[in-house]
């Protein structure tokens, strides 16, 4: 793909993938833009517009072939091309990711975890070794690490982000809740701000009550 | 407020709050739409448009009073009005939230946690008691529970969501990664789909590499 896809479309593609997974698991072979739209709360024309960005997998009067569309979106997102990731901070949240998160479904290979706690270093969680944080630079030098997952306390967030970027890691998945002090061209940062999500839920809950 | 605020603005308000927290902590008393925009990657006119939804706290030539603006946004989001929440599923992710997440900053009071594991039931994590999942209905009957936080395995997601809704809980913060089978008018559901976030990071990382 040579052209840029808009941020909103990029954000919707993983949602399409999830719905297509459900359809594929149910053995459904084709789906119309109307059906997909109804499931996802989008208009059929929105669906067609989104998916036309990728050359359009749909056929007039037939709809989309579920497996082909899924593959096309996976390709567009780069899923088949595995990238390597390390996780820094093996506390509760880090352990939750190590134990339950399906990295491979996102085309990500979790290579190692790092922590400062001597009681954790040297242990293995769900097949992933925990090393000392001091070894991050060495590990990044010896291995192809694309993404650092920060699941450590806020106080250590900026310093660790700087170390990670200095070690040549270009992607940061940031769970610290702190906006990192990095220049835009130093790294690609994806923040998971759980409080934003909870505040939005609260707002919608209250505005719904007002409507009753 | 009598009017509806668009979804995009609602999603940005928590971000404004976070930036205003940083400014307030640094003792900064006023900020212009230009400064706020530069920090947040938004245009000044976008900022003014967003904040005018709330009657506008800005003064021409002065900018925004940081503390007043923060209070106005907190009010708009309903933060001062506490709501009650329960957490269902005290595994790694549930424990991470119980231990580290600052519910009170979102105006949420975490009342209790629930799990199926007898080894966890009766224990206390960071001040929150863990009860048997069998007691969810009784607890919801005796207490004012607005939000159920689902941090349990996907396999139990739909059944638990139905129980929670039947018990009169109207808000669901869904970490299961599964889109719940609920009607729109049964509950307000906020999904935390971590894989969507990781896939977006991957995409942006790759598209940046192509640009180099």
CATH of residue A180: 3.40.50.720
Work out the end-to-end distance of chain A between its first and last CA atoms, rounded to an integer number of angstroms: 48
Q: What is the structure's pLDDT at B121?
A: 97
User: How high is the mean pLDDT of chain B?
Assistant: 88
Q: Which of B162, B196, B155 is nearest to B176 (CA)?
A: B155
* Average pLDDT of the residues in B140-156: 95
Is A69 found in the same domain as A93?
no
Is A89 found in the same domain as A73?
no
Q: Is residue A152 part of a domain?
A: yes
Is A64 found in the same domain as A26?
yes
Q: Is residue B95 part of a domain?
A: yes
Is B173 found in the same domain as B114?
yes
Whole-angstrom Cα distance, residue A196 to residue A51?
28
Give the percent of chain B with pLDDT over 70. Answer: 92
User: Pairing mode, if any, of strands B171-174 and B188-191?
Assistant: parallel
Supply φ then ψ for residue A103, to 5 degrees.
-60, -40
* Average pLDDT of the residues in B148-168: 95
Q: What is the structure's pLDDT at A52?
A: 75
> Where is average pLDDT lowest: A138-142, B26-30, B120-124?
B26-30
Q: Is residue A2 part of a domain?
A: no
Nearest-Cα distance to chain B for A140, in Å, is 17
Q: Is residue B206 part of a domain?
A: no
Q: Which two tokens stand for residue B58?
A: 């800005």
Domain count for chain A: 2
Supply φ then ψ for residue B187, to 5 degrees.
-160, 160
Q: What is the structure's pLDDT at B12?
A: 87
Q: Is residue A204 part of a domain?
A: no
Q: Is the pLDDT of residue B212 over 60?
A: no
Is A141 found in the same domain as A93?
yes
Is A57 found in the same domain as A11?
yes
Question: Cβ contact (<8 Å) for B196 and A107?
Answer: no
Q: Which domain holds residue B68?
A: 7-77
Is A51 found in the same domain as A31?
yes
Minimal Cα distance from B8: which residue of A?
A200
Choose the final residue of a domain: B77, B108, B129: B77
Q: What is the CATH number of the domain that holds A31?
A: 1.10.10.10
Is B121 found in the same domain as B68?
no
Whole-angstrom Cα distance, residue B176 to residue B173?
9
Whole-angstrom Cα distance, residue A142 to residue B65?
50
Partners of A81 on chain B (C-beta within 8 Å) are 206
> Where is average pLDDT lowest: A50-59, A151-160, B5-14, B107-116?
A50-59
Q: What is the structure's pLDDT at B182?
A: 85
Q: Is residue B54 part of a domain?
A: yes
Is A168 found in the same domain as A135?
yes
Q: Which residue has the higher pLDDT, B37 or A162?
A: A162
* Average pLDDT of the residues in B74-103: 92
Contact by Cβ (8 Å): A172, A147: yes
Is A15 found in the same domain as A92?
no
Is B150 found in the same domain as B93?
yes
Question: Cβ contact (<8 Å) for B18 and A179?
Answer: yes
Partners of B196 on chain A (C-beta within 8 Å) are 11, 14-15, 18
Whether B123 and chain A come into contact, CB under 8 Å, resolves to no
Q: Is residue A201 part of a domain?
A: no
Q: Is the pLDDT of residue B59 over 70?
A: no
Q: What is the structure's pLDDT at B142?
A: 96
Whole-angstrom Cα distance, residue B64 to residue B40?
15
Question: Cβ contact (<8 Å) for A11 and B96?
Answer: no
Residue A105 DSSP class: G
Q: Which residue in B78, B96, B147 is closest to A92 by CB distance? A: B96
> Which residue stretches of chain A have pLDDT < 70?
1-4, 53-61, 209-212
Q: Is residue A92 part of a domain?
A: yes
Q: Which of A154, A199, A198 is nearest to A180 (CA)?
A: A154
Is B90 found in the same domain as B73?
no
The enclosing H or E element of A198 equals: helix A194-211
Q: Is the pLDDT of residue B109 over 80?
A: yes
Q: What is the structure's pLDDT at B1?
A: 44
The residue written with tokens 């396999």 in the block is B155
Q: Which residue has the higher pLDDT, A84 or B181?
A: A84
Whole-angstrom Cα distance, residue A74 to residue A60?
22
């Amino acid at each position: 793909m040579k052209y840029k896809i808009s941020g909103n479309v990029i954000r919707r593609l993983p949602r399409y993938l999830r719905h297509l997974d459900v359809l594929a698991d149910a053995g459904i072979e084709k789906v119309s833009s109307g059906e997909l739209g109804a499931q996802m709360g989008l208009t059929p024309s929105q669906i067609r517009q989104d998916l036309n960005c990728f050359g359009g997998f749909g056929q007039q009067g037939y709809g989309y072939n579920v497996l082909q569309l899924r593959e096309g979106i996976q390709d567009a997102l780069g899923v088949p091309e595995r990238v390597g990731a390390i996780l820094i901070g093996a506390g509760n949240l880090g352990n939750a990711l190590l134990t339950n998160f399906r990295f491979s479904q996102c085309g990500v290979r979790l290579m190692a975890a790092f922590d400062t706690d001597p009681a954790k270093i040297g242990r293995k969680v769900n097949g992933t070794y925990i090393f000392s944080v001091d070894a991050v630079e060495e590990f990044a030098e010896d291995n192809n690490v694309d993404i650092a997952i920060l699941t450590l306390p806020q106080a250590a967030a900026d310093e660790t982000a700087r170390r990670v970027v200095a070690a040549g890691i270009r992607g940061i998945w940031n769970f610290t809740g702190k906006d990192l002090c990095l220049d835009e061209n130093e790294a690609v940062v994806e923040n998971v701000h759980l409080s934003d999500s909870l505040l939005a839920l609260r707002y919608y809950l209250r505005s719904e009550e007002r409507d009753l």
